[in-house]
Chains A and B, each alone.
Chain A
Amino acid sequence: MSDKRLGMLIDLSVCIGCNACTVACRQENETPLTKFNTWVESWDAGIDGRVTRANLPKLCNHCANPACVKVCPTGASYQAEDGTVQVDPERCIGCKYCMAACPYQVRYQLESGEVDKCTFCHHRTTEGLLPACVSTCVTTSRMFGDLNDPDSDISKKLAAAGDKAKGLMEDRGMEPRVYYIGLDETLGAEQLSAVHKGGNVLRRREEGNA
């Protein structure tokens, strides 16, 4: 392992749910139709008597303790030197154990059989570029960098946020490396509409927002 540990921080207070990240990712990674490496879930959220619009971008959490890697029988799912979770398509046999193991539901199977997901734009970050979703974010809600470097922008913002920055489902013990600012407020608010994934209904109102 190198000293590097790549991670992402998403400030939900300024995510406007524009889905520019969704589109940039689709264009950069050429994911097939109906499959997304990242997307934004949006719903009306009541908080302290106010009606607001929650926007929650989702993607692979590149966990430090990833269940998907543990269950992979061939080693196709692995952690790269920079800490990111990757899939080697040559070794993937399409058994979908990883899809079942991932509580974040960020993996999908390609028509050719292999399982795919967000790579944190590995092909870009190894060339010194930001992931496509980060570089396109119009409100700089998404931030990316080396969590092990205390001088990186993301480390500084994480340090400033303190315990306000949290990962999804931290209780699962998978140590996600995508952090959110404002997650408690977002998930704690009363759900007041259906949840949309992009502009399509993901869950009807009565099904909840988790």
Chain B
Amino acid sequence: MLDPTLANGVITPASEGINWVPIKPATNGAFYSAIAQILIRDNTFDAVAMACPTQKAAEAAGYGGYTNATYLVITDENHPNYRKLMRAADAGLEEPPADPAATTQPTYYVVIDAATGAPALHTDAAKGDLFFEGEVNGVKVRTGFSMLRDSVNERTIDEYAEITGIPASEIERMGKEFGSHGYKVSVQAAAASTASVVGFDTPAGRELLKAMMGSNQMTGGSFPSGQSPVTEGKGACYDLTTIAGLPNVSAKNAAMISRGGKAWEKTDEYKNRVAAGEKDPKPMLPWYTNAPQSDAQAIMSIVNQYPYQCKILMTWMCNVIQATPGAMRDEAIEKLKDTSVLPLHIVCDIVVGEMAQYADYIVPDVTQYESFGLPTVSMIGGFGTTIRWEAKAPETAKTEDGRPICWETFLIDVAKACELPGWGENAIPDVNGQMHPFNDAYDYYLKGVANLAYAVEPVEDITPEEAHMQGLDELGDNWKKAVTAEEWPKVLKVLSRGGRYWPMDYKRGADGRFKGLKAKETYVYNEKRALMTNPYSGKRLSPTLNYNPQMFADLSLMTDHYSAEEYPFLCSEHKPKFRSVTMLANSPIMRDICAHNYMEINTEDAAELGIKDGDIIRAITPRGDVTEGEAMVRDGQVKGAFSIEFGYEHLAYGAQDVEIDGKLVKGDPAIAAGTRIHMMLDPVVAEHGGMGIIADTDASSPGRCGGMFKIEKA
């Protein structure tokens, strides 16, 4: 287990066969590059799996996924398609006739067929040449794999060891181990470990290593998890996803407020400013060509009123301002409170946290015991879905027609008042095309339960005895009316079991692969990234895996702005045991078990700084942000970085005094106890007039781990 901090998990003195390997935050790209380098150097990667250019070829060769490692890349800088994967037309190859029935036509890439040594469409070759460099049709090309070999060899193992803090001998050991089990290996990495300004390197490296050993969708390898029959989509009984008359809004005709999914030069603002005569205009906040939606970037857009003003903000059970490192600061909070910046802010939650504190309206929600949900948990290996259902009557106030006030009730009534499609009468189609109403939460969720009950093979009806034993025979007409009389006893059967799961073997095919095998491509060469240009500098990032030091929004190195000698420390956050991201500080039990968190610092670092366990210390960014807390001096923390559990140091959430109708209500300072990372803002964004968090320049997610700090005794 590689982690900056020995946090939670089964690495105990008594457990065998698992070790903690400390790694510095924001250096995962270096680690993955090192392992890839070793696999290539020692020729222990699976060259057959890597060379299969299509899913069909991969499956024929006994694998579950393919890569674009053998696809040719145009490397001629003067070619109009420079940095793109070569297409059939670039190579002078003829494409098969288009399928007139298909809505989209496939793209035909070019490989050197390993069998003939000649250029071929990727769909025509069973295996491509991994290493080709040369000319095709007069165009200079090379394979993505040959570029990968270069990019992971940009540094030596010793240099990767220096960067990651992992001894070279340990990297070598891991590289050998990883390459010695065939496809029966995997890599897990997500969440906090990806959250840095170079966070994209983590999923990129993880996926590469899995593909290099041919482990995707293989039993004993990287076997897919988190599958379920369709419940909230087009299911066995009802279609909960199709909405007649849905407005056509997408990234194609609109801009996400979080500035993702769109290149800066494709925005209306860019075009308008160029048309107005501006040369090479720059945005106030960065745009992210390939990023998905981001709540953290959305909140920064809102406080900056850029790229457009957010006139109505609705949030449900989240506390974006606290969960976004660097965002919870006075200047951002003042903007959230200012109705000229954010005219209407509605929060629906079960507690009044920092987000709700600054909202105009708070709609009470119901707890997990009073609400419905059909979560498919990706970490659970089986096939199926858990059902959360109203185990007790909600305790919130009721509407005039008797429905509990909660998120669903609020959405339904507002949507109906606004005459939005998909709500009210004739909203939900069944498989026979008949329409059903959507007037309360039961109408929706119980139809999802019916979909689960009838999936694959319908469950048996619940027996009257069992329904009675569990009190399910007491459920009222408001429940029953959501499904048919025939479906009801099967819905109850699923409710009585809390969900429906199939045995693990259901997912295993007889051939040692995932039974639900779907096309699984791994990008060795990431064309989308190859073509992405930075909105401030025009610079580009490597399309194959490499190590990127931490950068600001224009891809300039952090260390070019600030002295690494003066600010040598990185930071990381990890999951708290006794808080959640933003909640549980209101629980006296949780506060009793853990009053506050700590600034966890390595024993040798602490000794050098003269810090003792229990001292109050400060971590200060080059921009003056101060994180202060009690030091926990430990060997279970990587050298060169401090770490904290998130979820502490509330500003509101009951910690503060509030005046309600002229009456002072005293806060409980214990709720505010502990510390959170006060991350610096991006100085490059500041130069362009914006207040922006440091962020992953690919995914736009916050730079949660990493940064630059000096540490001193308070």
Contact = CB atoms under 8 A, between A and B. Distances in A.
Interface SS of chain B: loop
Interface string A16-52: 1111001100110000011000010000111100111
Nearest to A18: B577
A34 B636 contact: no
Nearest to A180: B14
A198 B593 contact: yes
Contacts of B578: 19, 198-199
B10 A205 contact: no
Contacts of B131: none
Contacts of B603: 192
Given A186-B13, A189-B13, A53 B593 contact: no
Interface string A93-119: 000000000000000000000000000
B11 A53 contact: yes
B92 interface: no
B589 A16 contact: no
Interface string B629-666: 00011111000000000000000000000000000000
Interface in B583-641: 588-590, 592-595, 597, 603, 613-614, 632-636
Given A19-B578, A44-B635, A50-B19, A182 B14 contact: yes
A26 B591 CA distance: 13
Nearest to A53: B6
Given A15-B12, A53-B11, A193-B633, A199 B20 contact: no
A169 interface: no
Given A17-B8, A18-B8, A52-B6, A185 B14 contact: yes
A45 B6 CA distance: 11
Interface in B1-48: 6, 8-16, 19-20, 22
Interface residues of B, number: 31
Nearest to B593: A198
B10 A16 contact: yes
Contact of B12 (A23, A46, A55, A206): A55
A184 to B, nearest CB: 9
B17 to A, nearest CB: 10
B493 to A, nearest CB: 25
A93 to B, nearest CB: 28
Contacts of A53: 6, 9, 11-12, 636
Interface string A184-196: 0110110011100
Interface residues of A, number: 43
Contact of B589 (A13, A26, A47): A26
B511 to A, nearest CB: 33
A16 B14 CA distance: 11
Given A34-B592, A192-B603, A52 B633 contact: no
A199 B8 contact: no
A181 interface: yes
A204 B633 CA distance: 10
Given A12-B12, A33-B588, A198 B594 contact: yes
Contacts of A159: none
Given A22-B593, A193-B636, A194-B632, A182 B613 contact: no
Contacts of B613: 193-194, 204-206
A17 B9 CA distance: 8
Contacts of B12: 12-16, 45, 52-55, 182, 186
A19 B593 contact: yes
A141 to B, nearest CB: 9
B634 A17 contact: no
Contact of A185 (B13, B589, B633, B634): B13
Contacts of A26: 589, 592
A200 interface: yes
Interface in B548-604: 577-578, 588-590, 592-595, 597, 603
Nearest to B6: A53
A204 to B, nearest CB: 6
A182 B13 CA distance: 8
Contacts of A204: 613-614
A201 interface: yes
A51 B8 contact: no
Nearest to A27: B589
A108 to B, nearest CB: 13
Contact of A51 (B14, B16, B20, B592): B20
Contacts of A148: none
Nearest to A190: B635
A192 B635 contact: yes
B16 A52 contact: no
A44 B592 contact: no
Contacts of A44: 6, 634-636
A139 interface: yes
A204 B9 CA distance: 22
A39 B577 CA distance: 14
B280 to A, nearest CB: 51
Nearest to B20: A51
A45 B577 CA distance: 19
B10 A14 contact: yes
Contacts of A200: 593-595
Contacts of A46: 635
A16 B9 contact: yes
Nearest to A22: B593
A169 B280 CA distance: 75
Contacts of B634: 44, 192-194
A68 B305 CA distance: 68
B45 to A, nearest CB: 29
A175 B28 CA distance: 50
A193 B8 CA distance: 15
Contacts of B594: 198-200
B593 A51 contact: no
A198 B683 CA distance: 40
B575 to A, nearest CB: 11
23 contacts: A11-B14, A12-B12, A12-B13, A14-B10, A14-B12, A17-B8, A22-B593, A23-B590, A44-B634, A45-B12, A51-B635, A52-B12, A53-B6, A53-B11, A182-B14, A188-B13, A193-B613, A193-B632, A194-B613, A194-B633, A198-B594, A199-B594, A201-B614
Q: Which 4 A-B pairs have the closest CB atoms?
A: A199-B594, A182-B14, A193-B634, A198-B593
Given A13-B15, A26-B592, A44-B636, 9 more contacts: A33-B592, A44-B6, A52-B15, A54-B13, A182-B15, A186-B13, A192-B603, A193-B634, A198-B593
